[in-house]
Chain A
Amino acid sequence: MENVIIVTGLPRSGTSLMMQIMERTSIPILSDGLREKDINNPEGYYELEAVKGIVKDNSFLAEAKGKVLKIVTPLPLFLDKNLNYRVLFMRRDLEEILRSQEKMLGKDQSSEREKFKTIYELHLKKTYAFFEQNSIPFIDVWYKELIANTEQELNRIIDFLQLDSNWEELANAVHPELYRNKIDK
């Protein structure tokens, strides 16, 4: 049975970047383009509106066989367990994610940072547990590593998904300038 390829991770962890990489492979992308590109994701979001309703209706997944789609955490908990998946799990330092989200939302949430950090940490934990309990194969892709060691990371993804691409074809999606919310230390 054909796999559904899921790109998951917390919002602002690099899921859209991974979708751009996937766009350069032979696997078709399942998205509807309803969410338009903006300054925060200049290349677009690659989202599918139906994913937002996955809690009540996950039937759209049947259309995703042999395709790649983005489902942010913790929504993979509502995947149809009868389908086969391979998951690219985007990871990024939680502090960076929170600051990036704050910038995107244009509000200071520093007094609630531990709250959101904990919620995200628990979402990640639950999502990992779901993949493990249901024997869904996944690999972690750390945003920083993808930028810094692009060749190594892309080859790992190519191996995991058994793609016929070579890493250089995919690498031009990884614009280091996208790492724009980097925290100045």
Chain B
Amino acid sequence: MTLKKNKVVVVGWDSADWKIIDKLMANGLMPAIKSIVDNGVKGKLATLDPPLSPMLWTSMATGKRPFDHGVLGFVEPDGNGGIRSVSSHSRKVKAIWNIFTMEGIKSNIVGWWPSNPVESINGCMVSNLFQQEKMGGEVIELENWTMPEGTIYPERLKERLSELRVHPHEITGNLVMPFVPQALKLDKKKDKRLTVISRLLAHATSIHAAATELIETEPWDFTAVYHDAMDHFSHGFMKFHPPQMKGITDEDFEIFKDVVIGAYIYHDMMLDRILKMIDEDTTVMVISDHGFHSDHLRPTHVPQIPSGPAIEHAPYGIIAIKGPGIKKGERIYGASVLDITPTLLSLYDLPIGRDMAGKPLIDIYEAEKKINYIDSWENVDKDGGSLVVEAQASNEANESALQQLIDLGYIDDINKDGKDANQYLKDNIKENNFYLSKSYSSAGKYEEALEILLEIESREVPDFRILIEIVNCAVKTKRFKLAEEYLSFIRTTNVISKSYIDVLESKVQIGLNNPDKAVALLKSALNENPDAIEILLDLGRLLNTIRYSSEAESCFKKIIEKDPDNPHAYHGIGLVKLHEEKYEEAIDYFLDAIDRLYYNPLAHFNLGEAFALAKMYPEAIQTFEVVQTMTQNIPKVFRWLADLCEITENQEKFEFYSKIVKNLTRGHKKIITGLPSEKLQKYLEKSIENGVSISGFKTSIFKDQINVGDKDWMKEIESETIYVPLNLLPSLNAFNSYEIILVQENIEESMKFILKSKRFKNDSVDLSLLEDLKKQERIALIWINQQPNLDYRII
């Protein structure tokens, strides 16, 4: 078999984060990754929710979300009434190494989580149990250290690779010293933290040894090596990383402050060794599944719940690629863990499965890359390799892997709370189902998530995570009665704080179109948690929607005080400025938001609007063209582009975008609107007398209104003319073009008309109503003037 000229190496560093790497690269402390960044592309890799490593690394290796690939957590049922650490048995779909095997590409796969038992692929596999040295809570001594069944493929490599493993007892004090220079100050008998460092170093070194051995001695086209140690180092020692956190003693800070930096540098040294073993024709990709908070966003405590430590994970991992045909010194945007397999397939010019949730990262290529597709690799009838053992590893190995998860705080100890084995199994299956539901909801499949959540929820043992998710999914699927039923139940428990219940209820009130109630609830929640960024963000966004601009701005500014790099806060202030018609200021804020989080299509869209309204047409066109690459078929983007190209007399582009608009347009609608007034009422009545069919109006402007709670309410409306109250104009979708007829009346007259309808006396005055009406009219006029898809006249 001939090997490929262009090989690919993937190095996985669990939880690696640019915030730390960037600083170390700048100080010359991570030269290997820097050489990839300088000579290739660099980007953030968006993680998936839940950010749990076995699920994420399987998504990386399959291009599929957990509900498709089947790996749903840290453990799985063992078929004998117990649980075991999650294994290759759980994966329901082909991994990249199976696809490569089918296509004759030779792979080395080392340490991937989960990959035990290994598979009979074209190449070599070393499973994630290779480096484990524990049985239950006990460390196996070096002389008895055997490898679990299903760890190595092919069998002939077993002895050779086994010899390369490094046992924690072989890690001497000298090797630990660079991580903890003041280690001598510690009482090693009492303080187990040095032992943890020894273990992690042994694990990382074992994996590295197996990977380099295979790279050097076996024929290969593709090598993938995964290190979990960086994540474990971070969970153990990030709290000691500078700046010193509250609650960390001066002594601990001094002794352990360099451990995380040491771990990053050590991984870079291992990467450097690999880079020296490969040639210039080999493409190298370094990735991580999520980031890790290392600054003011570090949580002050880790919740004592399964997977609690994941609270320390940050939403973006890393990706850096260099190789032949890859751009040099550039950034890429919008990459996700789902894109790894499609991108690897594109590197070998293999088709992408249409059933993959990810996309190939075509921006990495210097030249245009032709991408081919097939329906699914699952239907390709070739041998991709199969599990080398039916059952998973022996009980001993299982215990060892389980113990590791218990030590890390990802799963409960069976002995905790005196649980019996059956209950332990049930609890773990329930936990996996919870992750499955999160996987569905993070893909926007809220009904699928809701069904699972309702099935696993128990009134006897209320779990705040499940209850919160139920309310969120109920709101997303517009099941407000269900949300309220759960809120009633939650109030009878003490599992969720009052302020968080207020936040949940505010979502229901927004869904029910009661923004004022929602604002009051969020303010009450904020009173109890003045530092809660999420509440400030929710409140700011809501205030922005109902155009309480100055209050909204103050929320966003408070967020920036607490988290100066929060992109959503800058975006929010940008919107405030846009609504206030301060377009240049809006542009600055949108740019600030994009600078902090580039892959944010809405921020780019709003930037485009601000450029257009500031009459900076070329910039606006360029921005909307960026939006168009990030989103699919959003009509408003193309309407803007067509309008802007017409203004700038770019006939060719105008025709191109107009054609797209025409294809996307559902039709033209005439909208009659205005503040409530006798004039508007009469105008509508007269139109009906003249035979015009008007949706949203039968007899009174106070009744029969459209249901704007439904996002796509207009889809159901067949008649050409619709009455839409002035305050609801922004609910018009972008799939239609509009002629707006604004029936304008003196605002005092409008107020009198409303009061009269409420049977107040003719000379009644309501100053707050008057103010509200003025504001409604002003907002509507600004909105009308800012839209690309409508003409309007005032009568």
A112 surroundings in chain B (CB, below 8 A): 459, 485
Is B481's CB under 8 angstroms from A122's CB?
Answer: no
- A34 within 8 Å of B by Cβ? no
Q: Mark B480-517, 1 if CB is under 8 A from A, else 0.
A: 01101110110000000000000000000000000000
Question: Contact: B450 with A114, CB < 8 Å?
Answer: no
Q: Secondary structure at chain A's binding surface: helix, strand, loop or mixed?
A: helix
Q: Are B485 and A119 in contact (CB under 8 A)?
A: no
Judge if B775 is at the interface, Cβ distance under 8 Å.
Answer: no
Residues A102-157 near B (CB distance < 8 A): 111-115, 117-119, 122-123, 125-126
Min CB distance A83 to B, Å, is 22
Q: Verify B482–A118 contact, CB threshold 8 A.
A: yes
The proximity string for B residues 453-490 relative to A, scoring 1 for CB distances below 8 Å and 0 otherwise, is 01101010000000000000010000101101110110
> Are A111 and B488 in contact (CB-based, < 8 A)?
yes
Where chain B touches its partner, the secondary structure class is helix
Complex contact A119–B488 (CB within 8 A):
no
Contact B485 A114 (CB under 8 A): yes
CB of B565 closer than 8 Å to a CB of A: no
Contact (Cβ within 8 A) A118 B459: no
Is the pair A115, B482 in contact by a Cβ cutoff of 8 Å?
yes
Identify which of B479, B484, B489 contacts A118 (C-beta below 8 A).
B479
In the complex formed, the residue of B with least CB distance to A115 is: B454
The residue that A114 contacts in the complex, of B447, B451, B459, B481, with Cβ under 8 A, is B481
Q: Which residues of B contact A123 (CB under 8 A)?
A: 451
Q: Would you call B488 and A118 a contact (CB within 8 A)?
A: no
> With A119-B451, A122-B447, A122-B451 known to touch, is A114 a contact of B489 (CB < 8 Å)?
no
- Tier of interface size on chain A: 10 to 19
Residues in B with CB closer than 8 Å to A114 are 479, 481-482, 484-485
Flag B427-462 by CB within 8 Å of A: 1 or 0 each. Answer: 000000000000000000001001100110101000
Return B467 CB to nearest CB of chain A, in Å: 11
Nearest B-chain residue to A116, judged by Cβ:
B454
Q: Please indicate the chain A residues that have their CB under 8 angstroms from the CB of B447 in the complex.
A: 122, 125
Find out whether the CB atom of A119 lies under 8 angstroms from the CB atom of B455: yes
Docked CA distance A16–B488 (Å): 36
Instruction: Please indicate the chain B residues that have their CB under 8 angstroms from the CB of A125 in the complex.
Output: 447
- Measured in the bound complex, the distance between the Cα atoms of B448 and A123 in whole Å is 10
Closest beta carbon of chain A to B658's beta carbon, Å? 38
| Per-residue A-contact encoding for B699-717, CB less than 8 Å = 1, 0 else | 0000000000000000000
- Name the CB-closest residue of B to A119: B454
B201 to chain A, nearest CB (A): 45
Cross-chain contact A111 with B489 (CB below 8 angstroms): yes
Chain A residues lying within 8 Å of B454, measured Cβ to Cβ, are 115, 118-119, 122
> Can you list 23 A-B contacts with CB-CB less than 8 angstroms, sorted by A residue number?
A111-B488, A111-B489, A112-B459, A113-B485, A114-B481, A114-B482, A114-B484, A115-B454, A115-B482, A117-B482, A118-B450, A118-B454, A118-B474, A118-B479, A118-B482, A119-B451, A119-B454, A119-B455, A122-B450, A122-B451, A122-B454, A123-B451, A126-B451
* Additional 12 contacts, C-beta under 8 A, given A112-B485, A115-B454, A115-B457: A111-B489, A113-B485, A114-B485, A115-B486, A118-B454, A118-B474, A118-B479, A119-B454, A119-B455, A122-B447, A123-B451, A126-B451
